[in-house]
Chain A
Amino acid sequence: MSFIQNIINGILLGGIYALLGVGMTMMFGIVKLTNLAHGEFIIMGAFASTLLAQALGIDPIITLIITVPCMFLIGMVLQSVLINRVMLQGSEPALLVTFGLSIILQDAMLLLFTADARRANVSYSTTNIQLPGGLYISVLDLVVFVISLVTILILTIFLRRTYMGRAIRATSDDTVAASLMGVSVRRTYGIAMGIAMATAAVAGLGVGMRWTFYPSSGGTYLLIAFGVVVIGGMGSIPGTLVAGLVFGLAQVFGGANYGLLVSYILLIVMLAVRPQGLFSK
């Protein structure tokens, strides 16, 4: 594969990587919660889209109409009923609870869906767009890339332009001042978790379209998400986008065998040298 082809593939991979991280970065930035179950949320989304598409005989992308609102609700309930309560005890118990959740969800999916490899089937999975110079773009990768960008764009507009979006940002800056503006912090946390889960639903669709996945795949995607969050700077959505691209390129250039390893090492170095991320002051 040529250098330019690597860059094309890296960028396409970076889009979905950014989407994997965007929900996690919201939880970090707003709720100040490290959500170790985010990988399982993504795999939940992947199962939901894949199985729904199969059962209804529709394109997996259409399943988002169902999966996104459902995951949003689950996230809100989870935060309101469980995590808000644990967070009163401090950040470590909350971290461990999300860790427990990830274990429970992973094994629940194993029981429900077996350990078989799955994949969301689309008709264009092997189609390529030929470019001059022997280069090509995979249609599937491009579709996932566009879905990722659109999702991140919608989220950005929501956070910038709506009352609720402003309330979420305000809460992440100063919870007390936000409550003085009539914002219920606990409710805002619930909505933030709902949004994080909704992005996980979309990310899950992307994962299911691009790769085969198992109930146990969550850990891999959690670590990618975490890498994107760390490189992008906690809570920064534009940062997440750039970090996704950095991570995607690093993995493509690392090659099939050591791609993941290169990403992990990059992440550890980042954590040690600049844990506040590349893009925060």
Chain B
Amino acid sequence: MKKTAASNQRNVRIIDGIPMLIAAIILVIVLAVIGFAGSNNLRRILIKVFIYCAMGSMWNLMSGYTGMTSLGQQTFIGVAGYTVALFTAKFALPFAVGILAGGVIGGVLALILAVILFRMRGMYFAIATWVIAEAFKTFFTSWGFVNAGGGMTVAGRPDREVIYLMCLVLAVASIVVIYVLLKSKLGLGLTAMRDDADAASSVGVNIFKSKLLCFVICGVFCALGGGLYYLNNVSIYPGSGFAIDWTVSLVFIVIIGGIGTMSGPIVGTIIYIVLDEVLAQLPAGWSNIILGLIAILVILFLPDGIMGTLQKKLHFELLSQKRFSGE
């Protein structure tokens, strides 16, 4: 995915700055209020939206901006889910400790895995991330300490409202982190790197450090998301925590929304969750078939995704990484 979305548009109107900030703050306040005033069902759906939005944005940061297509983010999700279960059920610690520990472990794990993964590129990287996730799944399935294939149950689950707020914070934090990251010098370097690795290094961007930072941040956020998801879900199994289905969802969200656009994953998440809720009425199996077909059709006919195509056609850019609109 070389020339993605609006990255090389000239004359684009960038919707950004103070008005955008005010709109975003109002939106977050409204969402927070819904957390207390809304129905249980709405809360349940929005929790999913927040978690997937955070993870999808992170997957987009990796694939869309740094060219690392990971098919193994479920490694971090599963490990964090198990961390929460272990901390609350085995060690009888508060859930917040479990969530934070999951995030820390996710970051450390990303650092360790980077040593291996950063020796690879492209499809090798993609498959290796998947193999690692499968290795974790296999290991957890036979590891007695985590009850092997029998799975674990989280203890001391807080109220749904608390989880809701934590998920909202996670989603907002992920978008803010990505926004700040991409607006920094490092972010500009990343975009340059995606388009031309040699040019980026000649500009003086340390590619290795930038990629590592992105990979670790993604690891941390996917771990936090995974921890919150399983705190909410209560039970975790190796087959669910480390399931490739996580990656399927993230890929779908980013492809549909528009890879390499900051607003794409947000739009993609909403479409994904709505579709998922609607398709859940159908017998099991149909939902993935339809999602898969939609994704393939989008890749074929709308390779820039919804936001990428809209931005190109209408010459605007929502949440741009560009610093100056005259650029």
Interface residues of A (CB under 8 A from B): 34, 36, 82, 85-86, 89-93, 95-97, 99-101, 103-104, 106-108, 110-111, 219-220, 223, 226-227, 230, 257-258, 260-261, 264-265, 267-268, 271-273, 275
CB < 8 Å: which of A93, A103, A110 contacts B292?
Answer: A103
For the complex formed, measure the closest distance between the CB of A214 and the CB atoms of chain B, giving whole angstroms: 12
Chain B: how many interface residues by the 8 Å CB criterion?
41
Do A223 and B286 contact each other (CB < 8 Å), given the known contacts A86-B300, A90-B2, A260-B138? no
B147 CB, min distance to chain A CBs, angstroms: 15
Given contacts A86-B299, A90-B2, A104-B293, contact A268 B135 (CB under 8 A): yes
Cα–Cα, bound, A36→B248 (Å): 12
Does the CB pair B123–A91 fall under 8 Å?
yes
Instruction: Report the bound CA distance from A100 to B248 in whole Å.
Output: 8
Report the minimal beta-carbon distance from B234 to chain A, rounded to whole angstroms.
24
**Count of inter-chain pairs, beta carbons less than 8 A:** 112
- Which of B90-98, B114-122, B216-224 sits within the interface? B114-122
* Interface assignment of B19: CB less than 8 Å from any CB of chain A: no
A275 B124 Cβ-Cβ under 8 A: yes
Ordered by A's residue number, 21 sampled pairs between the chains whose C-beta atoms are within 8 Å are: A34-B123, A89-B303, A91-B122, A92-B1, A96-B255, A97-B296, A103-B248, A103-B292, A110-B285, A223-B130, A223-B131, A223-B134, A226-B127, A257-B142, A264-B132, A264-B134, A265-B135, A268-B132, A271-B131, A273-B119, A275-B119
Q: Specify which of A82, A92, A93 lies most central, judged by the most chain B CB atoms within 10 Å of its CB.
A: A92
Residues of B with C-beta under 8 A to A93:
1, 299, 303
Contact among A36, A103, A273 with B291 in the assembled complex (CB-CB below 8 Å):
A103
Which residues of B are found within 8 Å of A260, using beta-carbon distances?
Answer: 138
Chain B, interface SS category: helix
Identify which of B122, B124, B296 contacts A101 (C-beta below 8 A). Answer: B296
4 nearest A-B residue pairs (beta carbon) = A104-B292, A264-B135, A107-B285, A34-B123
**Chain A residues within 8 Å of B172, by CB:** none
Contact with A along B148-160 (1 / 0, CB 8 A): 0000000000000
B71 on interface, CB distance cutoff 8 Å: yes
Known contacts A100-B299, A103-B248; 15 additional CB pairs below 8 A are: A85-B300, A91-B123, A92-B63, A92-B69, A92-B122, A95-B69, A100-B292, A100-B293, A108-B289, A220-B134, A260-B138, A264-B135, A271-B116, A271-B127, A275-B124
In-complex Cβ contact of B123 among A95, A106, A111, A265 (8 A): A95
A272 and B289 within 8 A (CB): no
Whether a CB of chain A sits under 8 angstroms from the CB of B190 is no
A-contacting residues of B (Cβ < 8 Å)? 1-2, 63, 69, 71, 116-117, 119-120, 122-124, 126-128, 130-132, 134-135, 138-139, 142, 244, 248, 251, 255, 283-286, 288-289, 291-293, 295-296, 299-300, 303
Most buried by B among A91, A96, A107, A227: A96
- Beta-carbon nearest neighbor of B148 in chain A: A257
Verify B288–A111 contact, CB threshold 8 A: no
What are the residues of chain B within 8 A of A271 when measuring CB–CB? 116, 119-120, 124, 127-128, 131
Q: Which residues of B contact A227 (CB under 8 A)?
A: 131
Which of B116, B126, B291 is A34 in contact with, Cβ under 8 Å? B126
Taking a contact as CB atoms closer than 8 A, the residue among A34, A96, A110, A265 that contacts B299 in the complex is A96
Give chain B nearest CB distance to A68 CB in angstroms.
26
Distance in angstroms from A205 CB to nearest chain B CB is 24
Measured between C-beta atoms, what is the minimum distance from A87 to chain B in Å?
11
- Asked if A99 meets B132 with Cβ closer than 8 Å, knowing A90-B2, A257-B142, A261-B139, the reply is no
Given contacts A223-B131, A275-B124, contact A107 B288 (CB under 8 A): yes
